[in-house]
Amino acid sequence: MIRSTLLCSAALALCASAATAQNFGGWATLSFGQDVYNNADDPTDSDYDNATATVIGFSGSVGGSFGAFGMQLDANTESSGDTDEPGYAASTYTLHANYRMANYAFGIFGGKATNNENTDSDDGEVEFYGIEAAAEFGDFHVAGQFGQASHENSHSSLDYNNYGFAIVEGHYYLQNGMTVFGNIGYGGGQVHGDNMNLTQVEIGLTTPLGSTGVLGSASIRHANVSGDDGSINQTRFMLGLTIPFGGAIRDVRRDSTPMINSNLPATVAVFTEVTD
Protein backbone atom coordinates (compact mmCIF):
# COMPACT_ATOMS: atom_id res chain seq x y z
CA MET A 1 0.00 0.00 0.00
CA ILE A 2 2.80 2.42 0.88
CA ARG A 3 4.66 1.68 -2.36
CA SER A 4 1.46 2.19 -4.37
CA THR A 5 0.77 5.55 -2.70
CA LEU A 6 4.30 6.76 -3.33
CA LEU A 7 4.12 5.65 -6.95
CA CYS A 8 0.87 7.54 -7.58
CA SER A 9 2.05 10.66 -5.74
CA ALA A 10 5.33 10.82 -7.62
CA ALA A 11 3.56 10.29 -10.96
CA LEU A 12 1.31 13.27 -10.26
CA ALA A 13 4.34 15.34 -9.27
CA LEU A 14 6.05 14.45 -12.54
CA CYS A 15 3.02 15.53 -14.59
CA ALA A 16 2.61 18.78 -12.63
CA SER A 17 6.30 19.66 -12.98
CA ALA A 18 6.61 18.95 -16.71
CA ALA A 19 6.24 22.62 -17.66
CA THR A 20 9.20 23.65 -15.52
CA ALA A 21 11.56 20.84 -16.48
CA GLN A 22 14.85 21.73 -18.12
CA ASN A 23 14.39 18.69 -20.35
CA PHE A 24 11.10 16.91 -20.88
CA GLY A 25 10.34 14.18 -23.39
CA GLY A 26 9.53 10.58 -23.99
CA TRP A 27 8.69 7.91 -26.49
CA ALA A 28 5.94 5.42 -27.30
CA THR A 29 6.22 2.10 -29.13
CA LEU A 30 3.51 -0.06 -30.68
CA SER A 31 4.72 -3.56 -31.51
CA PHE A 32 3.44 -6.74 -33.13
CA GLY A 33 4.98 -10.20 -33.38
CA GLN A 34 4.92 -13.83 -32.39
CA ASP A 35 5.96 -16.03 -29.47
CA VAL A 36 7.26 -19.53 -30.14
CA TYR A 37 7.40 -22.02 -27.23
CA ASN A 38 9.33 -25.29 -27.17
CA ASN A 39 11.24 -27.76 -25.00
CA ALA A 40 8.61 -27.95 -22.29
CA ASP A 41 9.82 -30.51 -19.75
CA ASP A 42 6.60 -32.56 -20.04
CA PRO A 43 5.15 -32.17 -23.56
CA THR A 44 2.18 -34.45 -22.85
CA ASP A 45 1.00 -32.13 -20.09
CA SER A 46 1.83 -28.70 -21.50
CA ASP A 47 -0.37 -26.48 -23.64
CA TYR A 48 2.73 -24.50 -24.53
CA ASP A 49 5.06 -27.11 -25.99
CA ASN A 50 5.62 -26.35 -29.70
CA ALA A 51 2.91 -23.67 -29.49
CA THR A 52 2.85 -20.22 -31.10
CA ALA A 53 0.96 -17.08 -30.10
CA THR A 54 0.49 -13.68 -31.73
CA VAL A 55 1.71 -10.79 -29.55
CA ILE A 56 0.52 -7.16 -29.46
CA GLY A 57 2.33 -4.74 -27.18
CA PHE A 58 2.59 -1.10 -26.17
CA SER A 59 5.42 0.47 -24.20
CA GLY A 60 6.36 4.01 -23.41
CA SER A 61 8.36 6.26 -21.12
CA VAL A 62 8.07 9.92 -20.21
CA GLY A 63 10.46 11.89 -18.04
CA GLY A 64 12.28 15.10 -17.29
CA SER A 65 15.27 16.58 -15.53
CA PHE A 66 15.11 19.35 -12.95
CA GLY A 67 18.66 20.53 -12.40
CA ALA A 68 20.59 17.46 -11.23
CA PHE A 69 17.42 15.52 -10.47
CA GLY A 70 15.33 13.47 -12.86
CA MET A 71 12.11 11.47 -12.89
CA GLN A 72 10.77 8.89 -15.34
CA LEU A 73 7.45 7.06 -15.65
CA ASP A 74 7.07 3.82 -17.66
CA ALA A 75 4.04 1.94 -18.92
CA ASN A 76 3.98 -1.48 -20.58
CA THR A 77 1.12 -3.67 -21.68
CA GLU A 78 1.20 -6.81 -23.81
CA SER A 79 -1.12 -9.66 -24.68
CA SER A 80 -0.66 -12.89 -26.61
CA GLY A 81 -2.87 -15.75 -27.71
CA ASP A 82 -6.58 -15.75 -27.02
CA THR A 83 -8.99 -17.13 -24.42
CA ASP A 84 -8.16 -20.79 -23.67
CA GLU A 85 -5.14 -20.64 -26.03
CA PRO A 86 -1.47 -20.49 -25.03
CA GLY A 87 -0.62 -16.93 -24.10
CA TYR A 88 -1.07 -14.27 -21.44
CA ALA A 89 -1.67 -10.59 -20.71
CA ALA A 90 0.47 -8.34 -18.52
CA SER A 91 0.67 -4.64 -17.68
CA THR A 92 3.46 -2.86 -15.78
CA TYR A 93 3.83 0.69 -14.41
CA THR A 94 7.12 1.95 -13.00
CA LEU A 95 8.34 5.21 -11.48
CA HIS A 96 12.03 6.19 -11.38
CA ALA A 97 13.83 8.97 -9.50
CA ASN A 98 17.47 9.68 -10.26
CA TYR A 99 20.40 12.02 -9.64
CA ARG A 100 22.68 13.04 -12.51
CA MET A 101 26.39 13.78 -12.61
CA ALA A 102 27.76 14.70 -16.06
CA ASN A 103 27.10 11.66 -18.29
CA TYR A 104 25.97 9.42 -15.41
CA ALA A 105 22.65 8.93 -13.62
CA PHE A 106 21.96 6.95 -10.45
CA GLY A 107 18.56 6.25 -9.00
CA ILE A 108 15.83 4.15 -7.44
CA PHE A 109 12.65 2.75 -8.92
CA GLY A 110 9.47 0.96 -7.92
CA GLY A 111 6.38 -0.34 -9.66
CA LYS A 112 3.45 -2.68 -9.93
CA ALA A 113 2.32 -5.21 -12.52
CA THR A 114 -0.74 -7.35 -13.19
CA ASN A 115 -0.61 -10.60 -15.13
CA ASN A 116 -2.89 -13.44 -16.12
CA GLU A 117 -2.28 -16.63 -18.09
CA ASN A 118 -4.94 -17.77 -20.56
CA THR A 119 -5.25 -21.53 -20.19
CA ASP A 120 -5.33 -21.81 -16.37
CA SER A 121 -6.85 -18.41 -15.47
CA ASP A 122 -4.01 -17.60 -13.08
CA ASP A 123 -4.32 -13.93 -12.08
CA GLY A 124 -1.41 -12.25 -10.32
CA GLU A 125 -0.08 -8.94 -9.03
CA VAL A 126 3.60 -8.03 -8.70
CA GLU A 127 5.26 -5.30 -6.65
CA PHE A 128 8.93 -4.52 -7.24
CA TYR A 129 11.61 -1.97 -6.35
CA GLY A 130 15.35 -1.54 -6.72
CA ILE A 131 18.36 0.58 -7.65
CA GLU A 132 19.66 1.50 -11.09
CA ALA A 133 22.18 3.48 -13.11
CA ALA A 134 22.74 4.74 -16.65
CA ALA A 135 25.66 6.27 -18.55
CA GLU A 136 26.65 7.72 -21.93
CA PHE A 137 29.96 6.78 -23.53
CA GLY A 138 30.22 8.50 -26.90
CA ASP A 139 27.70 6.74 -29.18
CA PHE A 140 26.86 4.13 -26.53
CA HIS A 141 24.09 4.34 -23.92
CA VAL A 142 24.06 1.68 -21.19
CA ALA A 143 21.71 1.18 -18.24
CA GLY A 144 21.26 -1.43 -15.53
CA GLN A 145 18.77 -2.38 -12.81
CA PHE A 146 18.90 -4.59 -9.75
CA GLY A 147 15.86 -5.19 -7.58
CA GLN A 148 13.45 -7.47 -5.76
CA ALA A 149 9.91 -8.53 -6.67
CA SER A 150 7.00 -10.15 -4.83
CA HIS A 151 4.09 -11.94 -6.50
CA GLU A 152 0.59 -12.70 -5.20
CA ASN A 153 -1.55 -14.97 -7.36
CA SER A 154 -5.10 -16.32 -7.34
CA HIS A 155 -3.31 -19.68 -7.01
CA SER A 156 -1.33 -19.18 -3.82
CA SER A 157 1.12 -21.92 -4.87
CA LEU A 158 2.63 -19.31 -7.24
CA ASP A 159 3.21 -16.65 -4.56
CA TYR A 160 6.75 -15.53 -3.72
CA ASN A 161 8.37 -12.72 -1.75
CA ASN A 162 11.52 -10.67 -2.38
CA TYR A 163 13.03 -12.63 -5.26
CA GLY A 164 15.86 -10.86 -7.09
CA PHE A 165 16.06 -9.70 -10.69
CA ALA A 166 18.70 -7.86 -12.71
CA ILE A 167 19.00 -6.56 -16.26
CA VAL A 168 21.56 -4.66 -18.33
CA GLU A 169 20.62 -2.88 -21.56
CA GLY A 170 22.62 -1.07 -24.22
CA HIS A 171 21.97 1.15 -27.26
CA TYR A 172 24.64 1.87 -29.86
CA TYR A 173 23.92 4.79 -32.19
CA LEU A 174 25.23 4.40 -35.74
CA GLN A 175 26.10 7.37 -37.93
CA ASN A 176 23.33 6.61 -40.42
CA GLY A 177 20.63 7.09 -37.78
CA MET A 178 20.19 3.41 -36.99
CA THR A 179 20.48 2.05 -33.45
CA VAL A 180 21.57 -1.42 -32.40
CA PHE A 181 20.15 -2.40 -29.01
CA GLY A 182 20.11 -5.40 -26.72
CA ASN A 183 19.70 -6.61 -23.16
CA ILE A 184 20.45 -9.55 -20.92
CA GLY A 185 18.39 -10.23 -17.82
CA TYR A 186 17.74 -12.66 -15.00
CA GLY A 187 14.84 -13.07 -12.57
CA GLY A 188 13.85 -15.56 -9.90
CA GLY A 189 10.45 -16.78 -8.75
CA GLN A 190 8.72 -19.74 -7.16
CA VAL A 191 6.30 -22.43 -8.37
CA HIS A 192 4.70 -24.85 -5.87
CA GLY A 193 7.42 -24.05 -3.34
CA ASP A 194 10.24 -24.73 -5.82
CA ASN A 195 12.60 -22.11 -7.19
CA MET A 196 12.22 -20.99 -10.81
CA ASN A 197 14.82 -19.05 -12.82
CA LEU A 198 14.36 -17.02 -15.98
CA THR A 199 17.15 -15.74 -18.21
CA GLN A 200 16.55 -13.65 -21.32
CA VAL A 201 18.68 -12.26 -24.14
CA GLU A 202 17.36 -9.76 -26.67
CA ILE A 203 18.90 -8.00 -29.65
CA GLY A 204 17.36 -5.63 -32.18
CA LEU A 205 17.72 -2.75 -34.60
CA THR A 206 15.85 0.54 -35.06
CA THR A 207 15.93 2.75 -38.14
CA PRO A 208 14.36 6.11 -39.07
CA LEU A 209 11.45 5.85 -41.50
CA GLY A 210 12.31 8.69 -43.87
CA SER A 211 11.81 12.17 -42.44
CA THR A 212 8.63 11.27 -40.51
CA GLY A 213 10.36 11.19 -37.11
CA VAL A 214 8.98 7.67 -36.64
CA LEU A 215 11.37 4.77 -36.03
CA GLY A 216 10.87 1.21 -37.24
CA SER A 217 12.30 -1.67 -35.23
CA ALA A 218 12.87 -5.41 -35.42
CA SER A 219 14.00 -7.60 -32.53
CA ILE A 220 14.37 -11.16 -31.32
CA ARG A 221 14.28 -12.24 -27.66
CA HIS A 222 15.01 -15.68 -26.25
CA ALA A 223 13.92 -16.61 -22.74
CA ASN A 224 14.80 -19.82 -20.92
CA VAL A 225 12.84 -20.83 -17.84
CA SER A 226 14.07 -23.62 -15.60
CA GLY A 227 13.12 -24.99 -12.22
CA ASP A 228 12.23 -28.11 -10.26
CA ASP A 229 8.57 -27.75 -11.20
CA GLY A 230 9.00 -27.17 -14.94
CA SER A 231 11.01 -25.61 -17.74
CA ILE A 232 10.34 -24.12 -21.16
CA ASN A 233 11.89 -21.91 -23.85
CA GLN A 234 10.25 -18.92 -25.50
CA THR A 235 11.52 -17.09 -28.58
CA ARG A 236 9.84 -13.79 -29.45
CA PHE A 237 10.02 -12.05 -32.84
CA MET A 238 8.76 -8.44 -32.89
CA LEU A 239 8.29 -5.53 -35.29
CA GLY A 240 7.57 -2.07 -33.89
CA LEU A 241 6.96 1.61 -34.55
CA THR A 242 8.38 4.19 -32.11
CA ILE A 243 7.42 7.85 -31.88
CA PRO A 244 9.75 10.05 -29.78
CA PHE A 245 8.65 13.46 -28.51
CA GLY A 246 10.62 16.28 -26.94
CA GLY A 247 13.58 15.64 -29.25
CA ALA A 248 15.30 12.90 -31.21
CA ILE A 249 15.24 9.47 -29.56
CA ARG A 250 18.94 9.66 -28.70
CA ASP A 251 18.49 13.01 -26.91
CA VAL A 252 15.33 11.83 -25.15
CA ARG A 253 17.08 8.76 -23.76
CA ARG A 254 20.02 10.82 -22.53
CA ASP A 255 18.14 13.80 -21.09
CA SER A 256 14.62 12.60 -20.17
CA THR A 257 14.29 8.79 -19.99
CA PRO A 258 17.77 7.33 -19.34
CA MET A 259 16.65 4.32 -17.30
CA ILE A 260 15.46 0.89 -18.47
CA ASN A 261 11.76 0.70 -19.24
CA SER A 262 10.92 -1.92 -16.61
CA ASN A 263 9.03 -5.08 -17.54
CA LEU A 264 11.17 -8.01 -16.35
CA PRO A 265 9.34 -8.60 -13.02
CA ALA A 266 6.04 -9.09 -14.89
CA THR A 267 7.70 -11.49 -17.35
CA VAL A 268 9.02 -13.63 -14.50
CA ALA A 269 5.59 -13.75 -12.84
CA VAL A 270 3.94 -14.76 -16.12
CA PHE A 271 6.28 -17.72 -16.49
CA THR A 272 5.46 -19.00 -13.03
CA GLU A 273 1.94 -19.34 -14.43
CA VAL A 274 3.06 -20.85 -17.74
CA THR A 275 5.06 -23.58 -15.98
CA ASP A 276 2.39 -24.20 -13.33
- pLDDT, tens digit, for every residue of 205-215? 999 999 999 99
What tens digit of pLDDT does each residue of 16-54 get?
445 455 789 999 999 999 999 998 876 445 788 889 999
Residue 152 · residue 125 · CB < 8 Å: yes
Q: Give the pLDDT of residue 33.
A: 98
The band of 270, judged by pLDDT with boundaries at 50, 70 and 90, is very high
pLDDT at 48: 86
- pLDDT tens digits, one per residue of 187-233: 999 998 899 999 999 999 999 999 999 999 999 999 999 988 778 99
Q: Would you state the pLDDT for residue 21?
A: 59
Closest CA to 122 of 90, 162, 161: 90
- Separation between Cα atoms, residue 204 and residue 171, nearest integer Å: 10
CA nearest neighbour of 163 among 127, 187, 129, 179? 187
Q: Give 113 or 274, the one with higher predicted confidence.
A: 113
C-alpha–C-alpha distance, residues 57 and 33, integer Å: 9
Q: What is the pLDDT of residue 17?
A: 47
Question: With b meaning 16 or more CB within 10 Å and e meaning fewer, what string describes 184-205?
Answer: ebebbbbbeeeebbbebebebe
Is the distance from CB of 208 to CB of 190 less than 8 angstroms? no
Can you name the residues that pair with 240 across neighbouring β-strands?
Answer: 31, 217
The predicted pLDDT at position 15 comes to 53
Question: Which amino acid would we find at residue 7?
Answer: L
Phi, psi of 2 (to 5 degrees): -65, -45
Mean pLDDT of the chain: 90
**pLDDT above 80 (res 126):** yes
State pTM to two decimals: 0.90
Decide if 113 contacts 93 (C-beta within 8 A). yes
Residue 6's alpha-carbon distances to 12, 125, 147, in angstroms, are 10, 17, 17
What number is the average pLDDT over the span 61-85? 92
Does the structure show a pLDDT above 50 at 2? Answer: no
C-alpha closest to that of 270 among 244, 218, 232, 221: 232
| Residues 6 or more apart whose Cβ sits within 8 Å of residue 48 | 37, 40, 86, 232, 274
